[in-house]
Amino acid sequence: MNTKKFLKIYLFICIFPVWALSEKILFSSYYIFFIPYALLYLSLVPYINLEKNYKFTLFIVSFLTVFAIDQNLSLSKSLIKPNFESLNALLPNIYFAEILLILILLLPTYIIFYKFGIRSIKISLSFIFVIFIFKIAGTIFNPIEIVNFNNEKKQEKNKISVQKTLFIIFDEMSGVNSTEKNFKYGNNFVKTIYEFAEKNNFQLYLNSYSTSDNTANAVPSILNFNTNKVTKNFRDSHIKESNNTYNEYDLIHNALFDKFSSVSVLQNIHLNFCNNQNVTKCYQINPYNYYENYLNGFKNNILSRFLSLWKLDGSSSSKILWKFSRIIGITDSTLEPEAHKIFLPTIMDEIKKDVLDNKFDLVFAHILSPHIPYGFNRQCDYDGRKSSFNTKMTTQEKYIQHNIERICMVRVISSLINELKNEINYDDLQIFFMSDHGSRIAIKEKFSSIILTKKKNQKFKTIDATVSVQEIIKKSFDKD
């Protein structure tokens, strides 16, 4: 085989997007994701010639070799993510780590290829081909799986109680009397939450807090009626790293779910609640799916979806391009946590449907909103620029933006309640709205958490006592 043909094969293997072999892409309209790679290959092949363009050819081959290593070994997921905290402390921005990793690999690769020529490239092909094959096998036989099920048969056997409960945890939403109220739009939020609570007969806790500023500690505490400070023993016995290729942690024990007969869960990538025996429906926003119901302002284009799904595969190059395209304003992210703002209309529709369905006595949701990155403008439309630049905000700017985010979330749940009132006997519905912890903008805002509760035939009331979210939920459910 002559050198030119060899290099064509080498480039093809380096460029080929193995991640796109996922059945979720191959057997959908997303097959067009192959087009950019095909165009890249066709545009480079005519210029790959060691005799005429030696230095240029070596640079392109070196760059694509690093590209192939990155793609097939998912370097961001395997190297950057496990060391996120230490790298983030060392560098001004975590994306510098992604860029440095590419450059660190590129320099020695080019030097080796330049010094030893085609022989070194032929040796490199053996390595690239092996990881290429392993990547194909992983993509086909161990794909990214998003937990979604609706167990109709199990639901039919369960006796659903007359009392229905809606239980929603909004991630990172500070309480009524948190520091944010002293900044711009703070009074607007306080007025909005008071009006919402009064109109809909909620008990509004003014000085509520969480016992932990960490979701993986706070949420298991809430759901297991633990009012004490979370210990390592408690954490280890209540959550574990998930074997699922999408979720981060599995909840092991869930005392709240055990008190119901049929539970509908809307969850996110961080915590998987759906292993509990009483969960009959599990729903997650699936980045491979197309959702027609989203916030105004979302850049609903094929590039947003292409870069988001590529980034989901875990390479550094995809992460860099995903971030760059958002910075220049041509795309948005369809991945979590951004997706939990963008697709809030879809999420609320799903919650409404399950509350109205007679198959569930508990409808539970853990929503990554108003969790950073920010995304709302004053009109509560989506503005992806805020998610790209929130790390550059001053503390004051973050407080102000968090107020906007909180106001928008109240508007979202207010619309949900209004729709439910038109469909069911609202007085009979039991509702709990809360957050797992505060905004964490500053140390003093780590724990301040919102909570509103509504029992059957309850009237509006404000509660000024300083009390934890965990204690309120324990008193409401743990009667034993």
Average the pLDDT over 182-193 and give the result.
96
pLDDT value, residue 88:
84
Average the pLDDT over 227-244 and give the result.
91
pLDDT in tens, 382-421: 999 888 877 788 999 999 999 999 999 999 999 999 999 9
| Residue with tokens 């009959």, as numbered in its chain | 280
**The overall pTM is greater than 0.75:** yes
The pLDDT mean for the chain works out to: 92
Average the pLDDT over 206-230 and give the result.
94
User: Is residue 187's pLDDT more than 90?
Assistant: yes
pLDDT value, residue 154:
60
pLDDT value, residue 367:
97
Q: Could you tell me the pLDDT band of residue 435, with boundaries at 50, 70 and 90?
A: very high
pLDDT value, residue 164:
92
Residue percentage of the chain with pLDDT more than 70? 97
pLDDT value, residue 237:
93
pLDDT value, residue 117:
86
User: Is residue 195's pLDDT more than 70?
Assistant: yes
pLDDT in tens, 329-353: 999 999 999 999 999 999 999 999 9
Average the pLDDT over 240-266 and give the result.
94
pLDDT in tens, 111-147: 999 998 889 999 999 999 999 999 999 999 888 889 9
Average the pLDDT over 210-214 and give the result.
94
Domains and CATH numbers, the chain: 3-141 (no CATH), 149-285+336-477 (3.40.720.10)
The larger pLDDT score, comparing residue 445 to residue 146, is at 146
pLDDT value, residue 89:
85
pLDDT value, residue 74:
96
pLDDT in tens, 156-170: 555 555 679 999 999
